[in-house]
Structure 1
């Protein structure tokens, strides 16, 4: 799928990704994969989450591909909007699955500190995968975010929040989106060559 010199970083959302979550499965089957662990999954602090992501990226000099879910997607956007060029250059791309709209009317109080959502284009290729019935972000909102972030987007039909409660455990079919992201990364590399 990608060079053995590339690392995958898994970024769970609020409350983490438990043992049945697809992110946990992917962490077990993808080579060179680690999870960005947070000190407090229940009461997320945006500054702490961004700092943990920065540390995970810069802990090794190898390039990374980010695989984010829910609040993890919003963390990526915040990190990218304030990180230094050297750290940004390490990220080859990001798969952003079911981003949580922390600006929505019924947003849980624990997530509201992540608002407002950065609107700047991400400086690396990205693919946003949303759902037609995600309670955390309407399909229209997911598309708006993908446009703001200059991400490619896919909206799945009736996939909920693309988590365990919506039936997404191993989610082997999701690897197709990781392959698509890899294709976008290779396209951009060719354009820059």
Structure 2
């Protein structure tokens, strides 16, 4: 088993230098990113397989930290895996049926709405262009997640100006302490 306890799951395009996920990976020990074959043309099954392999090398001592499209990756993975994890933080859940959903992302719909077998927290912004707050509330309820609404923070990405995103780190610490 590896020592990693945090797996970073970026969305489409990967998380760049100013993104809180990248900053966390640099700041927090035992953190690694789940790499994808193609960050710009994601295929759900391929992304889910990469996540399955990463979790298998770390289970059950891992917490997943997903942003945007990776939240959908995590949801599809959770619906099909037998792996055990400590928990998951899902940030900025996009709506795969929404007008702004990237057409190059293949296979992420329909979205599984079964209850997760692990503790999880969903973080939502009231003005996320990729997923409405109502969509996120429905998903969080179906998945059995705790929902944290942080107000108008856009897509909760580098453009949101969150820096190291201390509030998110507190939520991550809550999951790690379980």
Q: What's the TM-score once normalised by structure 1's chain length?
A: 0.86
RMSD: 1.7
Instruction: Give the superposition deviation at 1:166.
Output: 1.8
- Report SS of the residue matched to 1:54: helix
Greater share of residues in helix: 1
Aligned positions, number: 177
Specify the alignment match of 1:156 in structure 2: 150
Structure 1 regions of 5+ residues with no counterpart? 187-193
- Report SS of the residue matched to 2:107: helix
Please give the alpha-carbon distance, in whole angstroms, between the structure 1 residues aligned to 2:52 and 2:102. Answer: 25
Specify the alignment match of 1:93 in structure 2: 87
CA deviation vs aligned residue, 1:114-165 (integer Å, no higher than 9, x gap): 1111000110000000000001111111111100110000111110000011
Instruction: Give the superposition deviation at 1:54.
Output: 0.4
Structure 2 regions of 5+ residues with no counterpart? none
- Report SS of the residue matched to 2:14: coil
Specify the alignment match of 2:174 in structure 1: 180
Larger radius of gyration: 1
CA deviation vs aligned residue, 1:76-98 (integer Å, no higher than 9, x gap): 11001011x2x1x2x11000011
Q: What's the TM-score once normalised by structure 2's chain length?
A: 0.93
Specify the alignment match of 2:31 in structure 1: 33
Instruction: Give the superposition deviation at 1:61.
Output: 4.9
Please give the alpha-carbon distance, in whole angstroms, between the structure 1 residues aligned to 2:93 and 2:149. Answer: 12
Please give the alpha-carbon distance, in whole angstroms, between the structure 1 residues aligned to 2:59 and 2:158. Answer: 33
- Within 5 Å, give how 1:13-52 maps onto structure 2: 13-52=11-50
Instruction: Give the superposition deviation at 1:180.
Output: 3.3
Please give the alpha-carbon distance, in whole angstroms, between the structure 2 residues aligned to 1:59 and 1:175. Answer: 24
Instruction: Give the superposition deviation at 1:60.
Output: 3.8
